[in-house]
Amino acid sequence: MSHQAHTVAVRASGVDMFFGTPENQVVALKQADFEARRGELIMLVGPSGCGKTTLLSVIAGTLTPQAGTVEVFGQRLDGLGQEELTSFRRKNLGFVFQSFNLIPTLSVVENVMVPLLIQGRPYDEAQARALAIIEKVGLKGREEGRPNALSGGQQQRVAIARALVHEPPLLICDEPTSALDKDTGAHIMELVRDLSRSPERCVVVVTHDHRIFRFADRIAEMEDGRISRVVDDPKLLDTSHL
Amino acid sequence: MYRLALNMLFGDRAKLAMLLCGLAFSALLMAQQSSVFFGIMSWTYTPMVNIRAQVWVSDPMVEQVNDAKPLRDTDLGRVRSVDGVAWAAPLHTSFVQARMQDGNFKLITLVGIDADTFAGAPAVLTQGRIEDLRLPDTVIVDEWGASLMGRMGVGPDGKPRSTPLKVGDTFEINDIQARIVGICKVRRAFTGGPFVYTTYDRAKGYTLGARRTLSFMLVEPQKGVTPAELCGRIERDTGLKAWTSDTVIWSWGERSLARNTFWWFWTNTGIPFSFGTAVLLGLFVGIAISGQTFYSFVLENLKYFAAIKAMGAGMGVIARMLFVQAFTAGLIGFGLGAGMAQAIGRAMIEKGMPPFVMFPQILWATFALVLGISFVSAVIGIIKVSRVDAASVFRG
């Protein structure tokens, strides 16, 4: 096995994804290639409708592409059945959503426990681990409160805790700062970077928010359903159209 | 996940209250209407409960206890001669008009019992003595009847009275005086009239010497002979119809007069249809309210279920979560509804209102139907969640 194979966390090659009927087809991804490395935080950027979210869904295994291959931590996703994909997500993925998606009728700690309970972990163990990570994201004392009683930044911290509580190798963040102000967004990204920085983990962030580009190790720019270029320095990006 | 599923359910108190209201109302309607129905239906065989005897003998054409077809007095001797009969006593039942002191008439159920054995006499007397029925022109009236007829009487001051009839009061049956020597406690009947007990011979007089006055014969089997066995012998030897006094209407005993009476009313009246409609209404209202509320609960949580799906929960886990939520609501709703039905029933009985019989079977059936409603509600929710794409969580 080559050194490159060891370092690649996510690889998508020649991915096609279409929506709609053959007569009224919308091309979301066209021969898209993407690669993310272990230990890095990579951002997917581009104008609205360029296919960022679709590519993210393909990597997350919630969408199956019509063509191409997707490999996440050595596991080929194309060809897996729905049950195998579900099981793959359960073990390997953590999600941070744009609108947090915290269940309002559950307490903070219960929300964080969800991925562990989905894995079938005992309630007490899930609770203990959830409490530990809630402390790490700086919300000690708010465990029993409802998410609606928290600020946007605090809610996103809960979402990050939920995404990382089961220690997934791949963390997927969809517009994690779009609902937050500049300072809160920066704090959230610091948190994501600090908590997820590990040689065995990869973080893929889809964002429009150029204020957080500085947190990325690399930035992949998308255009018309494919990756147009990948840069190491955000200053090299033309952000006027983002 | 089930604990979280329950917390999700209990966390949304407004939705939960609505859901429980629907289920409880449905359970209440089904349990209460069924209990009133069976209560009223149990009144149809009231004579079997009030007049206790192990075997009843009737004309072969009799189908139910309220429709006696007179026998000849000589039939009594024929029955007494059947092998296995310990004793047989005559019984007269008929509906006659009683004339009250204020001139009003009231339809009563006249029961004539054997003056020697008092077979068929009421078991509980709240006033007077049964032996006093041997005195001339005497009757025993049931408590409810005494109250009903009392309101039609005239007091010593000549004004309408409001107190129940008591021992010593009089009224007339077919212009013959009836003097009350006892007040008894018996179950009310479907036919509505008060029970007036007298002796068999006096009943003949009250019915103006009708040619045949023997309605039924009450028979006791000898030791070692079962009622069913004796019924067979009586039918074989006399050609009359013999019935057991079993009042368990759920039994399949062909010889139970109570059961035959119950099913006669079931098939020949509109009562089951009327109450059945109310029970069905309860079921449909339950499905409509609970299904709709649970569906809206699922709709409100749809994006969270999508997120849970994206995080790796299979549809099996989510389906079980929804079943746990629906069945928990069903269980609580059933408890509330059945409890309210019981409370209403007790209040009705205390006020002497229409009957209320809540068989365990009614509770079980209501429980099953409420769980059925919960099942339908859960399935509607599961269908909705199964159609949600896990990828939708990335669409904002």
Closest CA to B155 of B145, B164, B146, B143: B164
| Between B148 and A126, the higher pLDDT residue | A126
Taking an 8 Å cut-off on Cβ atoms, the answer to whether B391 and A87 are in contact is no
Domains held by chain A: number: 1
Residue window 124-183, chain A: list those with CB within 8 Å of chain B: 146, 174-175
Choose from A103, A127, A173 for mutation: most chain B CBs within 10 A: A103
SS (H, E, C) chain A: CCHHHHHEEEEEEEEEEEECCCCCCEEEEEEEEEEEECCCEEEEECCCCCCHHHHHHHHHCCCCCCEEEEEECCEECCCCCHHHHHHHHHHHEEEECCCCCCCCCCCHHHHHHHHHHHCCCCHHHHHHHHHHHHHHCCCCCCCCCCHHHCCHHHHHHHHHHHHHCCCCCEEEEECCCCCCCHHHHHHHHHHHHHHHCCCCCEEEEECCCHHHHHHCCEEEEEECCEEEEEECCHHHCCCCCC
- Cα–Cα distance for residue pair A79/A82, rounded to 1 Å: 10
Residue A3 lies in a domain: no
Q: Identify the pLDDT of residue B250.
A: 66
Q: Closest Cα to residue B200, out of B86, B88, B342?
A: B88
* Chain B CB contacts of A63 below 8 Å: 391
- Mean pLDDT value of segment B96-118: 87
CATH of the domain at A167: 3.40.50.300
pLDDT at B126 over 70: yes
Q: Mean pLDDT, to the nearest integer, of B84-106?
A: 88
CB-based contacts of B245, cutoff 8 Å, min separation 6: B48, B52, B53, B54, B55, B56, B227, B256, B257, B258
> Would the pLDDT of B353 be above 70?
no
Cβ within 8 Å, pair B391-A86: no
List the pLDDT tens digit at each of the 242 positions of chain A: 444 445 888 999 998 888 887 778 888 888 889 999 888 889 999 888 888 888 988 888 888 888 899 999 888 888 788 888 888 888 888 988 877 888 888 999 999 999 999 888 999 999 999 998 888 888 888 888 899 888 888 888 898 889 888 888 999 888 888 777 787 778 888 877 877 778 888 999 988 888 888 888 899 988 888 888 888 776 666 655 55
pLDDT of residue A5: 47
Q: What ipTM did this prediction achieve? A: 0.82
pLDDT at res. B65: 86
pLDDT of residue A237: 64
pLDDT of residue A235: 64
Q: Which of B301, B305, B393 to mutate to test the interface with A (most CBs of A within 10 A)?
A: B393
Per-residue pLDDT band for B271 (boundaries 50, 70, 90) equals: confident
Using CB atoms, pick whichever of A83, A123, A146 lies closest to residue B3. Answer: A123
Determine the Cα angle at B5 with ends B331 and A116, to 5°.
150
Residue B304 to residue A175, Cβ atoms within 8 A: no
Q: What residue of A is the nearest CA neighbor of B1?
A: A117
Query: Does a structural domain hold residue A20?
Result: no
Percent of chain B topping pLDDT 90: 28
Is A53 contained in some domain?
A: yes
Q: Name the residue of chain A whose CA is nearest to B15's CA.
A: A105
Contact list in B for residue A114 (CB cut-off 8 A) is 4, 308, 311
Q: What is the pLDDT averaged over residues B120-141?
A: 91
Q: What is the mean pLDDT of residues B189-194?
A: 79
Residue B2 pLDDT class (50, 70, 90 cuts): confident
C-beta atoms of B312 and A89 within 8 A: yes
**pLDDT of B193 over the 80 cut:** no
Contact criterion met (CB < 8 Å) for A95 and B3: no
- For residue B242, the model assigns a pLDDT of 93
Q: Is B394 in contact with A90 (Cβ distance < 8 A)?
A: no
pLDDT surpassing 50 at residue B288: yes
Residue A17 included in any domain: no
CA angle A133, A139, A142 (to 5 degrees): 115
Is B312 within 8 Å of A86 when comparing Cβ atoms? Answer: yes
Nearest to B285 by CA among B22, B18, B14: B22
Alpha-carbon gap: A116 to the closest alpha carbon of chain B (Å)? 9
Which of A47-56, B85-94, B247-256 has the highest average model confidence (pLDDT)? Answer: B85-94
Domain encompassing residue A117: 39-62+81-235
To probe the interface with B, which of A57, A82, A105 has the most B CB atoms within 10 Å?
Answer: A105
**Taking CB atoms and an 8 Å limit, are A89 and B8 in contact across chains?**
no
Nearest CA in chain B to A146: B11
Place B294 in a pLDDT band, splitting at 50, 70 and 90.
Answer: confident
Residue A166 is assigned to a structural domain of this protein: yes
For residue B336, count other CB atoms closer than 10 A to its CB: 17
State how far residue A84 is from chain B, nearest Cα, in angstroms: 10
Mutate to test the interface with A, among B2, B4, B10, B305 (most CBs of A within 10 A): B4
Least confidently predicted of A82-86, B73-77, B188-192, B255-259 = B188-192
Tens digits of residue pLDDT in B9-25: 898 888 888 888 888 98
Average pLDDT over residues B247-255: 69
What local confidence, expressed as pLDDT, does residue B184 receive? 93
pLDDT at B88: 93
So what's the pLDDT on residue A125? 92
Does a structural domain hold residue A73?
no
* Contact call for B389 and A105, based on CB within 8 A: no
Interface test with B, best of A86, A99, A173 (most B CBs within 10 A): A86
Using a CB-CB distance cutoff of 8 angstroms, which residues of chain A are in contact with residue B393? 62, 95, 97, 101, 174
Test A62 with B11 for CB contact under 8 angstroms: no
pLDDT, position B47: 86
Domains of chain B, residue spans: 2-41+271-395, 46-246
Q: Give pLDDT, residue B101.
A: 77
Q: How far apart are the C-alpha atoms of B276 and B393, rounded to whole Å?
A: 47
Question: Which range has the top average pLDDT, A39-53, A137-151, B246-260, B321-335?
Answer: B321-335
Query: Cβ–Cβ of B12/A97 closer than 8 Å?
Result: no
Say how many CB pairs under 8 Å bridge A and B.
86
Residue A138 falls within a domain, yes or no? yes
Going by pLDDT thresholds of 50, 70 and 90, the confidence category of residue B354 is low
